Amino acid sequence: MARWSLPRGAALVLEQGDLTRAAVDAVVNAANDGLLGGGGVDGAIHRAAGPDLLEACRRIPKHQGKRCPVGQARLTPGYNLAARFVIHTVGPIFRSDPDPPGHLAAAHRSSLRLAREHELQTVAFPAISCGVYGYPPEQAAPIALGVAVAEAEGFAELRFVLYSEALLSLFVDAAEALLGPPAAR
């Protein structure tokens, strides 16, 4: 685990682990635009939260066939998760998206905006779009962390829970390039 104190009072924490076990106000789900579960992080969150999460997602209205367009976010309860809420966001598919960096940044910003609107203090992210959506983690990490640092005001903790040691190492390197060495490791 690595931790930085940010200028606006929040802490930035990077750790390897299971996002579904994060005891935070909200976990961010790297969802598809239908919000009905899938593989990777999305599937793990749906399995851990239980069937009520799928029902809550089904109740989110569709607009032009999508419950959540790329770069936007939606909120549901966390049900059986340690987190009180799930913020579902859709990141870009790297090879086919017209603006992968812009849409990845928007997914992070939208998630934090929604958390702020609901007065949530602690938010845990996965590596959005870095799984089946094919975003190279070494390119995604600086974008994700840059948005987190820029939007940190009003939060107590912004956490990235990463599933592998290799992914954690890439995010730590990107955070060190942005913020310098961590306060604690």
pLDDT digits (tens, 9 = 90+) for 4-20: 999 778 999 999 999 99
Is-catalytic flag, 42? Answer: yes
Q: What is the rounded average pLDDT for all residues in the chain?
A: 96
User: Can you identify the CATH homologous superfamily of domain 2-179?
Assistant: Leucine Aminopeptidase, subunit E, domain 1 (3.40.220.10)
Strands 157-162 and 122-125 come out as: parallel
With contact defined as beta carbons under 8 Å apart, do 163 and 126 qualify? Answer: yes
Mean pLDDT for 123-148 is 97
pLDDT digits (tens, 9 = 90+) for 45-79: 999 999 999 999 999 998 888 999 999 999 999 99
- Alpha-carbon separation of residue 117 from 75, 81, 110, 146, 154 (angstroms): 11, 21, 10, 20, 11
| Overall pTM surpassing 0.85 (yes/no) | yes
| pLDDT, position 159 | 98
Q: Which residues have a Cβ under 8 Å from the Cβ of 119 and sit 6 or more positions away?
A: none
Q: Which of 25, 42, 99, 173 is catalytic?
A: 42
